[in-house]
Chain A
Amino acid sequence: MLKRIALAAAAATAFAGIAGSAGAYPDKPITLIVPYKAGGTTHTMSMVLSKALGEELGGKVVVKTRPGAGSAVGVTFLSKAKPDGHTIAYTDLGNLIWNPMTKDDVAYTVDDVRIIAGVSEYQLALIATPDKPYKTLDELLEYSKTNPLNVADMGGMSKTFINYIAAKEGVKWTAIPTRGGGEMVPFLLGGKIDFAYSGGIHQKHGDKMIVLASFLKDGLAKSPEAPTTQERYGIAMPGNSILIAPAGISDEIAAKLEAAVKAAMDDPDFTQVLENIQFPKRFIPSSDVTAFAADVTKSLEEVLASMQ
């Protein structure tokens, strides 16, 4: 008798399992992987985004940080996860493409992940201080012809782009590595370096810093007058934060996630956090995101090819 009940129970659970996977999504908490350190901008955004996403999907979204190797550790982990929509990641488009392109040991390729949607945009710029003899990109280039300048980069992509521009213009810039805005800002304000690459931190310093150029294809939200590297050199850096899932995810679940992201972006808390860190929203629907990523990839390939 007991055995029969146990069997019936097992059958019922198995059936419920089948019914669950076919119908309701999500049927268990969703893990949102953040491939950066806790406390950074990506993680800060993800904390509020996960809450709003959970409300939209009618489930719980749990943020797990999986930092390392400029997001490659977390993205590799995601690319190997079960593609049932219960493991997704919030990361940035730039490093997603750049890492497998430049590092042999990175185990994933861009084809192993599916981009659900674009969410917001980092404000990547070339900046200087107002006390310098150059106020625009043209003046900087002119000044660089007679003066060897030091420019702060933040490693990887930013350094390669800076060197690309210097090579195109035939000027001599020395790229100085800095570990993020916390190190770059005092060096720039203290006059130790001549100009710098910024991931968006310049917006917090108001008129103490001036924007020379935008690395984003479509310009910067707060400094639309700054020339873009796209119009000058035909190259741009991707600054988008994106939601991704393993490549095998079904179209149905991907569509559900995309709709949830779109709705979650109107969440007042999410809006507030983006305003605090001064990163504009930039929703890119899945229909456009593939073309967008391909465009960006071409840009990065060109820069890399010319630097080798």
Chain B
Amino acid sequence: MDILNSMLGGFEAAFTLTNLAYICVGIVLGIIFGVLPGLGSVTALAMLIPITFYFTPLAAIAFLVGINKGGTSGGAIPAILINAPGTPEAAATALDGYPLAKQGRPEKAMKTALYSSVFGDTFSDIVLILLAAPFAAIALTFGPNELTTIILFSFTMIAALAGRSLVKGLIAAALGLFLSTWGLDPVDSTERMTFGTIYLFDGIPLLPFAIGTLALSSVLSQLYDMRRDRGKPPPPPLPPASQFRAENRIAPREFWGNWKTLIRSACIGTGVGILPGLGVTLAAFLGYGAARRASPRGDRFGTGELEGIQATEAANSAVVGSNLIPTIALGIPGNVAAALLIGAFMIHGVVPGPLMMVNHAELIYSIFASMLMANLAHLIIGRVGIRIWVQFVRIPKHIVLPTVVLLCVVGVYIPTNSMFDVGMLFLFAGVGYLMRKAGFSIVCLVIGFLLGENFEIYLRQTVLINKADLTVLLTNPISLAFLLLTLFFVWHFGIRVPLRQKRERAAARETDAASD
């Protein structure tokens, strides 16, 4: 009943015309960023957070949540239309979406993607609303002992995110960890890697680091590819929509017929979102894979099955709500987008963490209400604008990319009025560019950087509080549980899965050889 009352209060505060306007603008911008090649919700968030500085806290967070929701579903549109996912999390959407578009039913695929996104989003938001308060209450009893092991556990996610090469993923994460130690030592205030400049006393600033490695380096990389590909044939034209409207209609029975897949994917996405450090992309592929195994039509996935689109989009959108659970309960970001949201909260004087539910309960419930309102707005805007979004796929890259470079620079300069930060932006864009070209995971780098600061301070607090006696981590039940989970994940993602993949590859080679 408490939650119901709080939510009613939240709606009262959130249901204003201005707030709705911010949500809608956020969703539109998010979809556009998702549609544009190489950009996505993370880029959009990183670039637009500085602007929200002038909004009220509620409007700011509602706006950013709108961007995050729109961006996650917008990526599906170019994936369906030209087989070029706007965001990595929409890669699996292309598998079934593009064949559908080639069959002359692009709008049907886009509608399915949108409805599944909104379903996954709403499911995840409800889980967030129900779990945030109890999780925060538990987290309030956590101290350095528990937090150290939780962060340690989060590091194991790097193994799952590393992609093909675990070694390269670990190197990237270690670099991020190293960069997080720059600045004044948190215990003794001695200078570490500050190169004698006070600008590095607080360490490497998050915004230039995140925008540089995630957004600007990707843009530079695409600019390079454009130069390299000069003279090559242009990308395939958009497939023509069918002349028969009925072809592009989707019957409720057709959509809800796969309700099991929708719910399965929503649960997978929500689960992935709750664990700190995991990405949206992972959820999308897990959801797709699980649906392919479970569905009776699984063998037809990849030929234009609606269920494949539903499985992917419900899963990747379900991450958006639940990744705020660790953010709100622990102050530890669920993923990069949530980390940027933490930055936005801080700009507005709200410190994420277990106390947020106590000190800013009204704001939090207004944000929850805004999230639910955003889902409805997302459904309407996404559906009404379906033909408009298509136009954004046509904007040539040589117009989009330079604009983004400019916006990145402005976004970094505004909050601190510091040209030093702009310099850092370009430095990290260079680092990110080299890492991309050499096949190192940027996400691992950023996760290592984000978790590094927290890990160091919690570990050093633990050492000091327990007078250097770390056996407490084995006797404290919560710490022990997370340590065991850590071992399990290291074994699973670091040893078991790679071994299985190796065997599968070897088997594939053998069958190839046999058929030769």
Contact = CB atoms under 8 A, between A and B. Distances in A.
Contact of B201 (A44, A69, A148, A189): A69
Interface residues of A, number: 44
Contacts of A193: 465
Nearest to A178: B461
Interface in B325-361: 331, 346-351, 353-355, 359
Contacts of B349: 39-40, 43-44
A72 interface: yes
Given A70-B201, A155-B189, A190 B141 contact: yes
A150 B415 contact: no
A67 B416 CA distance: 6
A217 to B, nearest CB: 24
A72 B465 contact: no
B460 interface: yes
B347 A176 contact: no
B191 A105 contact: yes
A20 interface: no
A177 B465 contact: no
A251 B355 CA distance: 47
Interface string B394-425: 00000000000000000000011110000000
Interface string A103-120: 101110000000000000
Contacts of B461: 176-178
Contacts of B457: 177, 179
B191 A65 contact: no
Contacts of B191: 103, 105
Interface in A50-77: 64-70, 72-73, 76
B197 interface: yes
A174 B143 contact: no
A40 B460 CA distance: 26
A33 to B, nearest CB: 9
Nearest to A39: B349
A182 B199 contact: no
Nearest to A187: B143
B417 A64 contact: yes
A82 interface: no
A186 interface: yes
Interface in B347-387: 347-351, 353-355, 359
A107 B417 contact: no
8 smallest beta-carbon distances between A and B, as pairs? A192-B143, A182-B351, A69-B201, A39-B349, A69-B198, A72-B198, A177-B186, A177-B187
B295 interface: no
Contacts of B187: 177
A37 B143 contact: no
A180 interface: yes
Contacts of A16: none
Contacts of B145: 192
A174 B184 CA distance: 20
A156 interface: yes
B144 interface: yes
Nearest to A156: B189
A38 B415 contact: yes
Contacts of A72: 198, 201
Contact of A182 (B353, B417, B465): B353
A178 B457 CA distance: 8
A67 B415 CA distance: 9
Interface string A167-190: 000000011111111110111011
Given A40-B349, A192-B465, A193-B465, A73 B143 contact: no
Contact of B415 (A65, A76, A159, A192): A65
Interface in B54-113: none
B12 interface: no
Contacts of B353: 182-183, 186
A44 B355 CA distance: 20
Contact of A150 (B53, B348, B355, B464): B464
Contacts of A73: 198-199, 201, 418
Contacts of A182: 331, 351, 353, 355
Contact of A37 (B140, B141, B346, B417): B346
Interface string A147-171: 0101000011001000000000000
Contacts of B252: none
A110 to B, nearest CB: 16
B197 A66 contact: no
A27 to B, nearest CB: 22
Given A68-B416, A174-B465, A174-B467, A180 B351 contact: yes
30 contacts: A37-B347, A38-B53, A38-B347, A39-B348, A39-B350, A44-B349, A66-B418, A68-B199, A68-B201, A68-B416, A69-B198, A72-B198, A73-B198, A103-B191, A105-B198, A107-B198, A176-B461, A176-B464, A176-B465, A177-B457, A178-B461, A179-B457, A180-B351, A182-B331, A183-B353, A186-B142, A187-B143, A187-B144, A189-B140, A190-B141
Contacts of B140: 186, 189-190
A180 B482 CA distance: 26
Nearest to B359: A204
B351 to A, nearest CB: 3
Nearest to B197: A105
Given A64-B417, A190-B143, 4 more contacts: A177-B457, A182-B351, A190-B141, A190-B142
Interface in B182-221: 184, 186-187, 189, 191, 194, 196-199, 201-202
Best-buried of B198, B347, B457, B467 by chain A (most CB within 10 Å): B198
Contacts of B460: 177
Nearest to A108: B198
A177 B453 CA distance: 13
Nearest to B458: A183
A175 B418 CA distance: 34
A67 B184 CA distance: 15
Nearest to B348: A39
A37 B353 CA distance: 18
A192 B350 CA distance: 23
Interface in A77-123: 102-103, 105-107
A103 B141 contact: no
Best-buried of A44, A103, A107, A186 by chain B (most CB within 10 Å): A186
A68 B189 CA distance: 14
A159 B464 CA distance: 14
